Structures are given as C-alpha cells and as structure tokens.
Amino acid sequence: MQHSSGGYLLLAKLTMQWVFDYKPADIFWCTADVGWVTGHTYTTYGPLAMGATQVVFESVPTYPDAGRFWKMIQDHKVTIFYTAPTAIRSLIKLGGDLPKKYDLSSLRLLGSVGEPINPEAWMWYYTEVGRSRCPIVDTWWQTETGAHMIAPLPGAMPIKPGTCTLPLPGIMATIVDEAGNEVHDRNGGFLVIKRPFPSQIRAIWGDPERYKKSYFPEEMHGYYLAGDSAHRDEDGYFWIMGRIDDVLNVSGHRLGTMEIESALAANPLVAEAAVVGKPHEIKGEAIAAFVVLKGARPDNPAKAREIAEMLRNWVSKEIGPIAKPDEIRFGDNLPKTRSGKIMRRLLRAIARGEEITQDISTLENPAILEQLKNAVH
C-alpha cells in the first residue's frame, strides 16, 4: 500500500495534536507493534513529527505478568496511553485486578484502536486504568487512511462507550447503501468518505486495477469505500459494525458481528468471543460463536453444552431471539493476527467444517485452529 510523504505526515501530526492532545510535557505510549500501521503512525512518524517524549516497547504485555503495562505507566509516568481492545480483554482475563496495584495517576488520556471496543472492556479501561478521570478516544481508521478519521476531540465533546463518535474536521465520512445513496437508519450500511483527505492511500503497489476495484467501485460515485459496515445514532455518532464481509444476514436481518460478540462478552463468564455465519437452509445464515471463558475451558461435553445453552439464552435476552447463536465452541484463545485482529475467515471455515486452505502466514497462534476444530459443541 503506497502512501505519500507529505499528506501522510500531515495527518499523522495533526491527529497527535487533535485527538491525543499531545503537549510538550506529555509522555506518550502507543503499545502497537511497529509492523502494524498503528505502530508506523503512532509509534514512529506522529511522535517524531511532534518531537514527542514517548515510550517504545518491544516485549509482551504479560511478561513477567499481566501487570507489565501498568508497571510501565507507573515507572515512566506515562500521560497518554494508546492500546487495542484485544489487549484490554486479554489483560482483564489474565489479571483484572492488577491495575489497582500500581500508581497510574500520571495518566490523563486513554486511546483505543483496531476494532470496536465492547462496553465491558470500555468500562474496565475507564474505571480500573483511567480511574474514571481520563477520557477514552476511540479512534477509527485504517492502513489505507494513514491516520485517525473518526475520533473524538477529548474534552471538547461527550464520549459514549462503543462509538468512535464523529469524523474529524475535513473528513467527509458518511454511510450509504449498495447504490451509494446516503442512509441514516439503524440498519446502517457501507462506511464511505466522500472527499479526498491528505493521508489517503495513493496506490496498491503494482496493482492499479485492484486499487480502483477495492476502494473506488463504480456504484460509489467516486467515494472512498472503507470496507466497513456502520450505522449512526440519534446524535450522528458513528458505530462501526465490522467488516462488510463479516456482517450476517439472519432471516433478512442485518446483524453486525460486533453486536453479538459484545453481548457475549457482557456475560460475567466470558472473556472474549468471535461470531461468524454459516449457510442455513431456512434462515439464510446461522450464527456460530467461538467463546473464550475467563476461567478454564469446559473439559467435558455436558459442561460445554450447559454453558453454551446458558449463553445462547443470554444473547437472546440481550439482543433478541434472532441473534441467538446456533452453536458455540469454546477455546483458550481465538485465531488472531499480530495486531490482534480476529481472523474470522478461518473461523468460518471451521464452522462450515471445511479444510483450512487459506493463507495463515499472518496468524499469530496457529495451534489454536486444531483446538477449535476439535472443540465440543
């Protein structure tokens, strides 16, 4: 993916100022791997462009224990901390009460990136890490956009758990249907950006046709197609529902994977969940859920069935019977990339009982596939 130097650097720097409110006295820490675009923009170019004082970390959040992040914040007096929901959820699972043991009073601003943040994780991040005094900036953007696109200006506008709020000044984001017409209802549609912006993708290296087809398809009137589904609430705030390809169609209802995953994660037993569709003769799609419990994975079929039944009813109560998963499997983890993104296409293959023939070179934890394949359900 090709970026320009000037445009990319401009929005990298501006968002350091606007969204992270970076000031010379701050100590900034973005925990992202530098191999992820988040590491490019917010560990490298953005902080360098600001002349920022920052922490650069190359290790894992669980060494020597799941309190490592909190110890780093305490020892280095970090003021602005930026991490991903997947990291938050795994730290809740492995040491939910550890932040309490550290002095986190230097913190003044928290950030989230990489996927929609579920309310459970948001509340824990806000109260346990931010001690209910630090705003959370939920930042929606992509490799292709180079820098934040939809995110709050902290302190200047109300935030709500689960929404990245409003587009930044100059970013003409909106939501459209298949024909490129704007929609405002709760069902939502495709997230697009109507006008060019400084840090936008310039090319897919050596493949101009793929660039045009993926990002500027015919029906979109020249709008940039982000590939995400989203809807807006009564305040015009944007809620990201997941990738377009991941949205489920159950008996004619469009369901975001995020909505169901977040309902599952709201159950006290659940640490994390991933949901995919599989073909169903009557409903169009059936819902298959993969669940990581906070405690150990159930070790016998009867126990697994009992918890699965309880969780299916839980989702039915939280969202409605339409969202009730048809099957639930339990694992110790989910298949993820290094940046913590769940590889749902692999889960789709497992749910459909297909051989996994896809490229798994970016999968961080390959062993998990066998476990999930053989999981009782």
Binding region for ligand 7RM (CB under 6 A)? 37-38, 113-116, 138-143, 164, 226-228, 240, 243, 339
* Cβ nearer to ligand 7RM, comparing 139 with 262: 139
What's the CA gap between 255 and 248, in Å, rounded? 5
Name the minimum Å distance from CB 281 to ligand 7RM.
Answer: 30
Q: Cβ 335 to ligand 7RM, closest distance in Å?
A: 16
Query: Distance (Å, rounded) from C-alpha 86 to C-alpha 112?
Result: 10
Q: How far apart are CA 292 and CA 317, in angstroms?
A: 20
| Residue-by-residue DSSP string for 167-225 | BPTT--EEEE-TTS-B--STT-EEEEE-S--TT---B-TT-HHHHHHHHS-GGGTTPEE
| CB 212, min distance to ligand 7RM, A | 19
Whole-number minimum distance, CB 145 to ligand 7RM, in Å?
A: 8
Residue with tokens 């950006």: 193
For residue 178, the minimal CB distance to ligand 7RM (Å) is 19
Burial of 158 (0-12, 13-18, 19+ CB in 10 A): exposed
Yes or no: say if 84 and 56 are a contact pair by the CB < 8 Å rule: no
Rounded to a whole number of angstroms, the minimum distance from the CB of residue 160 to ligand 7RM is: 13
Quote the least distance from Cβ 27 to ligand 7RM, whole Å.
22
Q: Which is nearer to ligand 7RM, 143 or 316 (CB)?
A: 143
CB 361, min distance to ligand 7RM, A: 16
Nearer to ligand 7RM, 102 or 124 (CB): 124
Q: How far is the CB of 370 from ligand 7RM (least distance, A)?
A: 26
**Least distance in angstroms from the C-beta of 115 to ligand 7RM:** 5
Other C-beta atoms closer than 10 Å to the C-beta of 205 total 9
66's tokens: 């799941």
Please say whether the dihedral angle defined by the alpha carbons of residues 122, 126, 130 and 135, taken in this order, is positive or negative: positive
Q: Which is nearer to ligand 7RM, 113 or 270 (CB)?
A: 113
Phi and psi at residue 336, to the nearest 5°:
-135, 160
Are residues 32 and 84 in contact, defined by beta-carbon separation less than 8 angstroms?
A: yes
Kindly tell me which of 36 and 290 has the beta carbon lying closer to ligand 7RM: 36
Q: Which is nearer to ligand 7RM, 105 or 362 (CB)?
A: 362
Q: Which two three-digit tokens encode residue 258?
A: 């995020």
Alpha-carbon distances, residue 104 vs 66, 72, 79, 160, 364 (angstroms): 15, 10, 9, 23, 30
CB of 67 or CB of 146, closer to ligand 7RM:
146
**Torsion region of 117: left, alpha or beta (phi above 0 gives left; psi -120 to 50 gives alpha):** beta
Q: Are strands 284-293 and 270-280 parallel, antiparallel or unpaired?
A: antiparallel
R_g (Cα) of the chain, nearest Å: 21
Which of 74, 229 has the CB closer to ligand 7RM?
A: 229
| For ligand 7RM, the closer CB: 107 or 247 | 247
Distance, in Å, from the CA atom of 135 to the CA atom of 160, rounded to the nearest integer, reads 10
Considering the complex, state which of residue 37 and residue 372 has its C-beta at the smaller distance from ligand 7RM.
37
